[in-house]
Amino acid sequence: MKIATFNINGIKARAEALPRWLDDAQPDVVLLQEIKSIDENFPSELFEERGYNVETHGQKSFNGVAILSKLPLEDVTRGLPGDDEDEQARWIEATVIGKKALRICGLYLPNGNPVPGPKYEYKLSWMERLYDRARELLASEEPALMAGDYNIIPQAEDAKRPDAWREDALFRPESRAAFRKILNLGFTEAFRAVTQSPEHYSFWDYQAGAWNRNDGIRIDHFLLTPQAADLMRDCRIDAEIRGHEKPSDHVPVWVDLDL
């Protein structure tokens, strides 16, 4: 089962490029972030005609997450538990039914800038709620994953110029510590289980020729429970799509699981 995560930076802007990528890459499941659309305006027909079941958790103009799946989806839930007053559309999860059931959680973690300030406080409190949900997933002892745009640079090797990010919310010590706290519960960070080499990135700024200089950061991640990690065959960053018309500032990351 090929599962991809992709921050598309607006479904309206990606309405042509995203279907072309789907036709070429043929993922079984896709977790989308920053759809920037309410549910009613999401162009589900573009994906349903390609055989995908579509579930969205949208929000007008920003945020928004979605699941596209060629396999049946069950028990779809929206919103990260732990704060009934949080109206930001950043979390969706469902069970995908393949050879085995797999619980998939798609997330768009808050950016947190500027630091200090309420946006950074929200980021860290959101990560505390993520930690609680991660513990529940592990306690189920079933294959599960949490994937998406984490807005976290885990280590210096995940940035071309780490010193430029020292005071940014994506690389602040508190952010990285919160990420490690979740990992240390027993999750596998899929890409780093495949390679430890530097200069693999999933985001490049639109400005200052960052893409041409490979001046990027790696902030899109898959975290796998032990039961899911045992099924992993590969994990890759699909950087080639950046050369397509109207690319996002992110590129897809995918895992291949024996499911």
Secondary structure in 3-state letters for 172-214: CHHHHHHHHHHHCCCCEEHHHHHCCCCCCCCEECCCCCCCCCC
**Pairing outcome for strands 220-224 and 91-97:** unpaired
- Active site amino acids: 108, 149
SS3 242: helix
C-alpha 185/C-alpha 183 separation (Å) is 5
How many Cβ atoms sit within 10 Å of the Cβ of residue 42?
Answer: 21
- Token pair for residue 255? 């895992």
Residues 6+ apart with CB under 8 A from 166: none
Query: In whole angstroms, how far apart are CA 46 and each of 2, 7, 49, 153, 258?
Result: 20, 17, 6, 33, 28
- Bridge partners of 203, per DSSP, are 217, 250
C-alpha 98/C-alpha 155 separation (Å) is 34
How many Cβ atoms sit within 10 Å of the Cβ of residue 66?
Answer: 26
